[in-house]
Structure formats: structure tokens, C-alpha cells
């Protein structure tokens, strides 16, 4: 899961965070996600407080931590809106069409002794991402393709 937030005018990245849920702690995933949202909200408050006067719009898929009651309560409490995202639509998920290809190329040929080694490499990769990479400039055109194809899968 990747969370980033940018402001259009300054293009300054407010928060860039890699989040790796612990597979053995699935029951805590929503709590961890809400904690990440708390840190995002705090980063916005510190760096761009005027943005909190407007409704924040968040885009995420329908993964369990995102659709959990705890997360929905958090979003409602702070008045954040969610862009609609149809279930099982990797062609419309920015992570699937924008993130995983470059990440796969980066990790290609690497071998890791432990899960911690993998997480360390992933954190390093995320920490070194350019602000421009975190933007999703092609999302609107992909939405339009989906409409044009009457909901069929949108290939590249």
C-alpha cells in the first residue's frame, strides 16, 4: 500500500510513506491504516494547514483495511471523501498500473534472506521516489477509457 499527498500549486510532497502490513496481524490492519491516516492529517496540518479547511479527497481501493468500519468512522469523523473505486478493478488502481511495474523492475534479480531485508529495500525504494512519480496523471484518461469500453478491462 502506498500513501502520498501532494499539493497541486507547489508540487511539494506533504507526506510520503510506505506501509507494509504485518501478515500475521490482519485484525489490526484497519487500526494501522487509521494510524497512517492520522499521520497524514498531522503532516497536512503542519505543512499545509489551509488544505484542512477544504474537504480532503482520498483515493484507495476496497481492501479490507480501507472498507473496515473503523476506517469508515475515521473518514466520516474528519469529513474526508473517497473517490469511488469499483471492486476488483486493477486497471483503475494507480498502484497496479503505475507503481508495480517500476517496483518489479527495481527488484528484478534481487534475492532477500529475510522479510526484513525485503522491507528495508522497499522502504529505501519508496524513500527515494521523486514527487513527480507520486502523481497519477493518467488516472482521468483511464477512467474515460473504462467508460468508453462500457466497463470492460482497460489494458495499457
pLDDT value at residue 5: 55
Question: Whats the size of the chain, residue-wise?
Answer: 156
CA dist., res. 71 & res. 34, Å (int): 6
Q: What is the pLDDT of residues 78-111, one digit of tens each?
A: 999 887 777 666 666 666 566 777 888 899 999 9
Confidence band for 10, pLDDT divided at 50, 70 and 90: low
Is residue 66 within 8 A of residue 33, CB to CB? The reply is yes
Q: What is the pLDDT of residues 21-36, one digit of tens each?
A: 555 455 578 888 898 8
Q: What CATH number should be reported for the domain whose range is 2-148?
A: 3.30.420.10
pLDDT value at residue 21: 55
Is residue 20 within 8 A of residue 122, CB to CB? The reply is yes
Q: Grid coordinates representing 51? A: 488544505
pLDDT value at residue 24: 43
Give me the helices (H) in 48-97, please.
64-67, 69-78, 94
pLDDT value at residue 14: 57
Give the DSSP H/E element, type plus range, for residue 17.
strand 13-18
Q: Grid coordinates representing 140? A: 482521468
Amino acid at each position: 500500500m502506498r500513501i502520498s499527498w501532494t499539493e497541486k500549486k507547489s508540487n511539494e510532497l506533504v507526506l510520503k510513506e510506505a506501509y507494509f502490513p504485518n501478515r500475521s496481524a490482519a485484525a489490526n490492519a484497519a487500526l494501522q491504516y487509521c494510524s497512517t491516516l492520522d499521520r497524514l492529517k498531522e503532516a497536512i496540518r503542519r505543512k499545509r494547514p489551509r488544505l484542512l479547511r477544504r474537504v480532503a479527497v482520498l483515493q484507495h481501493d476496497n481492501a479490507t483495511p480501507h472498507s473496515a468500519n473503523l476506517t469508515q468512522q475515521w473518514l466520516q469523523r474528519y469529513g474526508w471523501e473517497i473517490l469511488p473505486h469499483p471492486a476488483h478493478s486493477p486497471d483503475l488502481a494507480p498502484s497496479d498500473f503505475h507503481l508495480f511495474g517500476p517496483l518489479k523492475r527495481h527488484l528484478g534479480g534481487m534475492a532477500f534472506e529475510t522479510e526484513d531485508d525485503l522491507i528495508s529495500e522497499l522502504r529505501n525504494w519508496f524513500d527515494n521516489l521523486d514527487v513527480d512519480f507520486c502523481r497519477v496523471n493518467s488516472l482521468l484518461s483511464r477512467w474515460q477509457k473504462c467508460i468508453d469500453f462500457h466497463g470492460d478491462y482497460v489494458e495499457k
